[in-house]
Amino acid sequence: MERKTRIPTQKRALEKYNRIVDAAYKLFNERGYYNTTTADISKEANVATGSVYAYFKDKKEIYIRVIVRLNESFNYPTREYWIENMDKPLNNPETGKELFRVFIKMMIEYHNFSKTFHDEMDALALLDDDIGKTINEQRGRRTDKTREVFKLLSIPFKSNEEEIIFVHYTFLLIEDVCHKILYDKDIKDLDLCIDKCVNMLFTLFMDSTNYSG
């Protein structure tokens, strides 16, 4: 999908652009993608509808920008934590499990969108090629960043395949836990849910590396 414009650089134009994206994110969370119109977004952002089209081709392009910005906000406090603890043996249960606990809490903070937004994002990834491509690209970048942390720590995976499997299943497991915690009203004990995930991740970590317990 061709982009109509680039992100503006002048302060006033950039402020208006950001208001549009912020308004769209708010409405997509509250009403959903299909129940939000470009006119709704312009009203929420307090800008003329024509201003929206000056920056974006259509609603889908706004949605794609929202997805990109959402992933840009995904930081890695675990990177700093792991660097600070590089001198500690990762096969030590106390140290290793705390690393995964920090990672899970970071992922929970990332999932600060509504269940409506989450469910539609999964559906749109399958229904629309442009949106699906963007979501897959952003997911790949998050995975690459995680792999960079492992390389920085020189974690002795048994093989490249073991590393790929570990990173892949780490994301799947943590994302599933985040969804359960945030969207499943039956989850009453948050700490217990996190601890169970931590124990599974630590076991997978030990099985995938040359560390010995």
Distance CA 143, CA 122 (A): 18
- pLDDT value, residue 194: 92
Check if the beta carbon of residue 73 is closer than 8 Å to that of residue 79.
no
Distance CA 72, CA 197 (A): 25
Does the pLDDT of residue 87 top 80, yes or no? no
Q: What confidence tens digit (pLDDT) does each residue in 180-211 have?
A: 888 888 888 888 999 999 999 999 889 888 88
Distance CA 9, CA 7 (A): 7
Query: Exposure pattern of 105-140 as b/e (b: 16+ CB <10 Å)?
Result: ebbbebbebbebbbebbeebbeebeebeebbeebee
Distance CA 16, CA 13 (A): 5
Does the pLDDT of residue 212 top 70, yes or no? no
Taking the model in full, what pTM does it have?
Answer: 0.84
Name 85's Cβ contacts closer than 8 Å, sequence gap at least 6. 95, 99
- pLDDT value, residue 111: 87
Q: What confidence tens digit (pLDDT) does each residue in 140-151 have?
A: 888 887 787 777
In sequence order, what are the beta bridge partners of 157? Answer: 209
Q: Which region among 29-38, 62-71, 76-85, 112-121 has the lowest average model confidence (pLDDT)?
A: 76-85
Domains and CATH numbers, the chain: 11-65 (1.10.10.60), 74-208 (1.10.357.10)
Query: Who has greater pLDDT, 86 or 200?
Result: 200
Query: Who has greater pLDDT, 177 or 92?
Result: 177
